[in-house]
Structure 1
Amino acid sequence: MHTSQIGRPRTFDAEAALERAMMVFWAQGYEGASLADLTEAMGISRKSLYAAYGNKEDLFRKALQRYEEGPGGYATEALEAPTAREAAVAFLAGAARATTMPALPAGCLGVQGALATGETGRVAHDALTEWRAHGQALLRERFQLAVREGDLPAEADPERIARYVMTIANGLAVQAAGGASCEDLQEVADAAMRNWPPA
């Protein structure tokens, strides 16, 4: 709401601006999002961007965190499900919903953000690789707990199951970016769950 360029720094809503930056990265990817695109969407100058968020790489990491806490929050919620199967079902259903929400970019920021990056996008590529690995590790820990509690069979491989669920979720995101509907993706998720280890 502030129109004056003079005065104290950060005369803008930093959280709202970060939300808009997240949307630009989500829609255009890391390399596709120019500083001009970002500052225009955020309604701030380059100087304000650097002062408030650091460089483009820092802004991307903050936007990714915001995505994880917002549209990507289904992942954390899914891990709280009472059984491992319910956690996997909730994780995949959440992925189907989050990647096809009306008025938001299709797909997943964590998958699309750096699918095709050159050297200038290496930091984003590495950040997203780390982000996806962390998500898979959380799934693995949830499934390890399920084995210890007898919710999954003793011979079940938590690492393999976590990789399976994450791979399906990432595939759903790619399909969503190509125009698949939430209903289409949910059918795929349901089919994937037919391979769940028998109790």
Structure 2
Amino acid sequence: MARTRVFEIDRAIEIATDLFWRNGYERTSLADLTGAMGITPPSFYFAFGSKEGLFKKVLEHYMRTRLSYAEDALNQPTARGVAEQMLLRLADLYTDPKCPPGCLAVNCSFPCSDEATPLRDELAGLRSARRGRLRDRLKRAQATGDLPVDCDPNALAQFLIVVGWGMALAAQSGATRNDLRRTVATALKAWPS
């Protein structure tokens, strides 16, 4: 007869999300994770396979529950609306008092070592995919005349992503929601007309 699991997987992922978001991937130890979850290492490995396996589940959860709020901005009818709503929603996300400041993915993208790892490659892939979705939306806007023909959708997508990353770092360093909203207003002054 199989033993029943004595902890809730979804709750464990929420706990891990908070730990990784606050501490980063490399500074969150197995002992931190098992202690916060109230489980033993064997139970941890049975449920998640490894710390990296758990982190992949955390990223999926974060993308689905938190970043989807900002990604939904891609559905705005105008390219400027996409940019404005995405950045404002990131400002809200990064300063949500119920969560650690900043962005989980950005916080975990600055590992202590310089070694290339599958995890770093995965984070880079996620960033590249987000930039690609934004670039594709801006290309569609350009094709319909919503953006000037001399505008570079790829460079504009990169600009928005970099502003978003900078806002995440500013929030982690204590910037308020109003501070970030002022940053958004300043960034949008550079929007092509």
Instruction: Provide TM-score, normalisation by structure 1.
Output: 0.91
Moved more, 147-156 or 169-178: 147-156
2:99 corresponds to which of 91, 104, 115: 104
Q: Percent identity?
A: 38
Q: Unaligned 5+ residue runs, structure 1?
A: 1-5
For 1:123, the equivalent position in structure 2 comes to 118
- In the other structure, the counterpart of 2:13 is 18
Counterpart CA distance in 2 for 1:152 and 1:128 is: 30
Write the letter of the residue equivalent to 2:45: Y
- Closer, same or farther in 2 for the Cα pair 1:197/1:142, shift >3 Å? same
1: CA distance, partners of 2:40 / 2:144: 54
Please show how residues 1-199 of structure 1 align to structure 2 within 5 Å: 8-118=3-113, 122-198=117-193
Q: Which amino acid aligns with 1:175?
A: A
SS in 2 for 1:70: helix
Q: Is the 8 A contact 2:95 2:101 kept in 1?
A: yes
CA distance in 2, matches of 1:19, 1:120: 28
Please list every run of 5 or more consecutive structure 2 residues that lacks an aligned counterpart in the other structure. Answer: none
CA shift, 1:121, in A, is 7.7
Give the match's secondary structure for 2:90: helix
Contact 1:152 1:197 (C-alpha < 8 Å) held by counterparts: yes
Give the SS at the match of 2:117: helix
**1:178 alignment partner AA:** S
- Residue 67 of structure 1 deviates from its aligned partner by 0.8
> RMSD in angstroms over aligned alpha carbons?
1.7
Give the count of matched residue pairs.
Answer: 193
